[in-house]
Amino acid sequence: ELKVEQNPLFLSMQEGKNYTIYCNYSTTSDRLYWYRQDPGKSLESLFVLLSNGAVKQEGRLMASLDTKARLSTLHITAAVHDLSATYFCAVPSNFGNEKLTFGTGTRLTIIP
Amino acid sequence: GAGVSQSPSNKVTEKGKDVELRCDPISGHTALYWYRQSLGQGLEFLIYFQGNSAPDKSGLPSDRFSAERTGGSVSTLTIQRTQQEDSAVYLCASSFTGGWGQPQHFGDGTRLSIL
């Protein structure tokens, strides 16, 4: 059974600082997705990582995938307040459809 | 439509009643997924549709839960004889064909509260 673990669960950062969220998964997968969720809102797709060594960047966020280590990271550079949200990684099934197994989520709070 | 649409946005009902939740996926998307988000269990997969067929129902928690999709478009998730543990946000997502590497686009969800 596929398990996806994220850490930390909660992260409080000062504006301007850098930090990394980690996502580990238990079975082989060659792709991984990152989503953002604002309070009371739905999930917004951030990154689609489709191969070992894939790196994607959007603004102050950068995501990478190491399929051999079964690890993805989401790096935040010089955090700003509007990055406050919950971030989820998700790994798709290897068996015929792309149903997602989600990590526990990391609730990020940026403090002025 | 422009995005995945779900209705109602909120539903409060008494234990033992039946509820129906609706999802209208992005036009042209053949793959449709239902997930459930609750404090205790996080985000869990429920069921996957490809067109009107449901080849993967493995996440449905009990036989009180069922879903259908008609016309390759709208889907309805039905919960019979609701229990308090059914309280959660039910999220619907769609993708173009459900193929490799396609991100799923989520609706705003239905927040279900069982009294």
pLDDT tens digits for range B73-105? 999 999 999 999 999 999 999 999 888 889 999
Mean pLDDT, chain A, integer = 94
Q: Check if B102 contacts A (Cβ < 8 Å).
A: yes
The pLDDT value given to residue B1: 52
Instruction: Decide if pLDDT at B10 tops 90.
Output: yes
Domain count, chain A: 1
- When scoring A2, A29, A42, A89 by the number of chain B Cβ atoms within 10 A, the one with the most, hence best to mutate, is A42
Is the model more confident about A103 or about A96?
A103
For the stretch A17-72, pLDDT in tens is: 999 999 999 998 999 999 999 988 889 999 999 988 899 999 999 999 999 999 99
pLDDT score for B78: 98
CB contact under 8 Å between B102 and A98, yes or no, is yes
Q: How far apart are CA B111 and CA B7, in angstroms?
A: 10
Residue A41 structural domain: 4-111
- pLDDT score, position A22: 98
| pLDDT score at A94 | 77
Confidence of residue A96 (pLDDT cuts 50, 70, 90): confident
Question: Can you tell me whether residue B14 is helix, strand or coil?
Answer: coil
- Phi, psi of B86, deg, nearest 5: -80, -10
Lowest-confidence region among A95-99, B11-15, B16-20, B21-25: A95-99
Q: What pLDDT shows up at residue A15?
A: 95
Per-residue CA distances from A16 to A10, A64, A80, A82 (Å): 18, 21, 6, 12
- Tell me: the pLDDT tens digits for B24-68? 999 999 999 999 999 878 999 999 999 999 999 999 999 999 999
- The beta-carbon neighbor of B103 closest among A48, A88, A99 is A48
CATH number at residue A22: 2.60.40.10
